Amino acid sequence: MNENLLKFEVIWKDEDIIELQISANNGRYSGVTEVYEVSDSLLEFVNELKGFPFGKDRLTHSCGEKYSYAYFEMDFYKISQSGICGVLITMEENVSTEYRKEEKDKLSMELTVEPNAIDIFCKELKTLAEREEGIAELKGIVKYSNNII
């Protein structure tokens, strides 16, 4: 993965839940985890995220259980008056037992995005949740050094 993005992909489902492979890359750091989620929960989040960041300061969604089998969290917040947003991505990778917390793979990183990218992500995530299949991508702004382009 060499693009700056956050990617959700349905890799398994049954009548109650879906399993998502979530991958993220901000140009410097990248990671992947697999978590279980309920479609209704994703749809609720999509409805809250629509139009972000206008009229909203912060919005968070998580899947899985922190310090357990696997976990994912995305925390959206405003960075600038122009609408540029940050997404703090936190993920933990599967391990065979919850008793090895200190040996678990963990990652926290920021992805910067524009409002238009959030709108596209909302549409794709809504389709993914309704169909319980497919891919949704949040494309980030390409950064060189510490300057946003």
> The domain that contains 9 carries what CATH number?
3.30.2450
Structural domain boundaries enclosing 81: 5-148
Q: How many domains does the chain have?
A: 1
Q: What is the pLDDT of residues 73-104, one digit of tens each?
A: 999 999 988 899 999 999 998 666 666 666 67
Residue pLDDT, tens place only, 14-54: 999 999 999 999 999 999 999 999 999 999 999 999 999 99
Alpha helices per DSSP H over 72-114: none
Asked if 78 and 53 touch (Cβ cutoff 8 Å), the reply is yes
Return the exposure string of 20-56: e unless at least 16 CB atoms fall within 10 Å of the residue's CB, then b. bebbbbbbeeebebbbbbebeebeebbeebeebbeee
Query: How far from 96 is each of 33, 65, 69, CA to CA, in Å?
Result: 14, 14, 7
Q: Is this model's pTM higher than 0.85 or not?
A: yes
> Above pLDDT 70, what percent of the chain?
87
